[in-house]
Amino acid sequence: MKKEIIFLFLLYAVGCFSQTQRIKILSSDISTVDEEKFPNATILSGNVKFAHDGATLECKQALFYRDKNIFKAVGDVVIEQGDSIIHYSDFTTYNGNTKIVKSWGSVEVNDKQMKLTTDTLYFNRNKQTLFYPNNGTIRDKKNTLKSVIGTYDAKRKKFTARKNVYITTPDNNLKSNHLDYFTDTNLVYLHGASTITNLKDSTKIYSEKGFYNTNNNISHFVKNTKISSKNLTIFADSIYYDKNKGFASATNKIRVIDTINNVITKGNYAEIFEKKDSLFIVDKAVGITIQENDSTYIHGDTIMVTGKPEKRVMRIYHNAKIFKSNLQGKCDSIYSSQVTGITKMFKNPVLWLEKSQITGNYIQISSNKKTNELDSLKILKNGFIIQKDSVNPNNFNQIKGQNIYGKFKSNKIETLLIKGNAESLYYNTNENTKKVETITKEIASDIEFTFKNNEIYETKYFKKSEGKTYPPSKFPKEYKKFKGFIWREDERPKTKDDIFKNNKPLTINNKKNKILKAKDNFIYEK
């Protein structure tokens, strides 16, 4: 029984031994031994050449441990693996059992796709992988990559780099802490904090996960992404970017910051056209004009921004709303120019200024371009201003006319001029008793009001006027509301978050406006 076990063991050992190919010495000028200095080793010198499993090694000197199937090579070491890999170094240790090579001292590896240089390299011939633990450089026909730690999969042509990774391309510099680079396709996959800097215009891209094609400058980033140019900074969860075409599309938690005009545009889907100096943004889109104490928020189904930095124009389409601490508004569409400081409101517009509600067919607001303070107001056709009485909330001061023109001072209405078919209704309240003493109704060609603390301080009537002042008990009920009176306070956004509420199609003349799908308004010719 014991003999059978020993025999089986010998058969297993012989089988295992036969599976491991032995290193063969092909040539050397001198072959000696020195058991005292190098026990169990053959010392080879001059034109040393080994062969093992499809690879050859040449060097000046070597120690060959036949029993361990290991050699140690010194001086001008060259390893060739068929026509796939050529490996140069000053020193190499090769284990014929594991087929693992360790090389150090001016290491260089070449294959058909790249050249790798480093100080220390481990080469696993079984897996066809190369690994360097302390600074290496890889160069292919197009790009150069450097990193502290790197692994190259020769079968997949895949290079995985970690820690202080730098890629230099003809167009960009890339810095990362972890990425994969494919030497046959020049594609980069980012797995950690990375920055791509364009060499021509200094545009920077930051992302923590994504894809970058160094051949055509097309990239797609999917984590904590940021693109910074001279005029704009774009933040988003995900950004697709074609640098050559100057096009980017972004999704989720988007912020586009215009640093020159202090404007931030937000939303959840955007397309940016760099060469056309334009962008549009949808899905909870909002444009924010930044001011130190009181920013302005403009929202709509779609926001489009066009023009050079100093000539920006913002267009807001459908369900447009404005919020500022002392001004709110609502309409179908808004046009706002950075050049003129003019904001235009179209289709059933309504504007709230402090206690006043302002409506008309068309409303235009002008701001001081330097201070961003309100400068003037224009209401064309069917101008109507309503102000709830401070004593009785069921009473409304009213001003109506064909056109209305206003001037502001320190963001408050200073004067209002009603031009054409002017009418006014005003409740005169005793400041001490807080009781309405009289009610005045006036009709004139034109009327001008001067305000103080948002209350009418002085009234001027131009040309022929008709009017009458009534005691409250004698005031006719049919005069209480002018024709076309609509109190729209429930539509007023009270906070900046209210601009996103109740976004329903407007109803004008009992017909619903056609609300276009996102991007239907934007057609770009190549």
pLDDT digits (tens, 9 = 90+) for 284-322: 999 998 876 778 899 999 999 998 887 889 999 999 999
Q: Which residue has the tokens 């991007």?
A: 519
Q: Are 405 and 396 in contact (CB under 8 A)?
A: no
According to the model, what pLDDT value does residue 338 have?
82
For residues 517-522, give the mean pLDDT. 33
pLDDT tier, 150 (very low <50, low <70, confident <90, very high otherwise): very high
Q: What is the pLDDT of residues 153-171, one digit of tens each?
A: 988 999 999 999 999 999 9
Q: Are 398 and 482 in contact (CB under 8 A)?
A: yes
According to the model, what pLDDT value does residue 372 have?
73
Residue 22 DSSP one-character state? P
Helix (H) or strand (E) holding 441: strand 436-452
pLDDT tier, 362 (very low <50, low <70, confident <90, very high otherwise): very high
According to the model, what pLDDT value does residue 459 have?
83
According to the model, what pLDDT value does residue 525 have?
27
Instruction: Output the DSSP codes for 74-91.
Output: EEEEEEEETTTEEEEEEE
pLDDT tier, 391 (very low <50, low <70, confident <90, very high otherwise): confident
Distance spanning both ends of the chain, measured CA to CA:
88
Q: Are 275 and 269 in contact (CB under 8 A)?
A: no
Specify the pTM.
Answer: 0.78
Give start and end residues of each alpha helix (H) in 20-151. Answer: none
Least Cα distance to 341 among 369, 313, 316 occurs for 369
Q: How many CB atoms lie within 10 A of CB 365?
A: 25
Measured distance CA(207)–CA(518) in Å, rounded: 27
Measured distance CA(344)–CA(333) in Å, rounded: 8
Q: Are 207 and 190 in contact (CB under 8 A)?
A: yes
Q: Are 386 and 485 in contact (CB under 8 A)?
A: yes
Residue 186 DSSP one-character state? T
pLDDT tier, 518 (very low <50, low <70, confident <90, very high otherwise): very low
Measured distance CA(526)–CA(524) in Å, rounded: 6
Rounded to 5 degrees, φ, ψ at 503 are -80, 85
Residue 505 DSSP one-character state? -
Tell the CATH topology of 349-488: lipopolysaccharide transport protein A fold (2.60.450)
Is the pLDDT reported for residue 193 higher than 90? yes
Span(s) in the chain for CATH 2.60.450.10: 224-341
Measured distance CA(236)–CA(257) in Å, rounded: 12
Measured distance CA(413)–CA(449) in Å, rounded: 10
Is the pLDDT reported for residue 246 higher than 60? yes
For residues 264-291, give the mean pLDDT. 91
Give start and end residues of each alpha helix (H) in 323-431. Answer: none
Q: Which residue has the tokens 């008990």?
A: 473
Least Cα distance to 379 among 340, 406, 415 occurs for 406
Q: How many CB atoms lie within 10 A of CB 498?
A: 16
Least Cα distance to 428 among 405, 462, 459 occurs for 459
pLDDT tier, 385 (very low <50, low <70, confident <90, very high otherwise): very high
- Quick one: CA dihedral 198, 204, 205, 206, positive or negative? positive
CATH number 2.60.450.10 given to 224-341: yes
Q: Which residues of 134-165 are buried (b: 16+ CB within 10 A; e: fewer)?
A: ebbbbbbeebebbbebbbbbbeebbbbbbeeb
According to the model, what pLDDT value does residue 10 have?
37
Tokens describing residue 25 = 């010495």
Query: Across the chain, what does the average pLDDT equal?
Result: 86
Measured distance CA(404)–CA(401) in Å, rounded: 7
For residues 76-82, give the mean pLDDT. 89
For the chain, the residue count is 526
Q: Are 421 and 401 in contact (CB under 8 A)?
A: yes
pLDDT above 70 coverage of the chain, percent: 91
Q: Which residue has the tokens 């696993």?
A: 124
Least Cα distance to 447 among 399, 495, 378 occurs for 399
Cα radius of gyration rounded to whole Å, the chain: 40
Q: What is the pLDDT of residues 13-44, one digit of tens each?
A: 334 433 568 999 999 999 999 888 999 999 99
Tokens describing residue 332 = 């179908």
Please, which residues bridge with residue 466 across strands? Answer: 443
Rounded to 5 degrees, φ, ψ at 478 are -70, -15
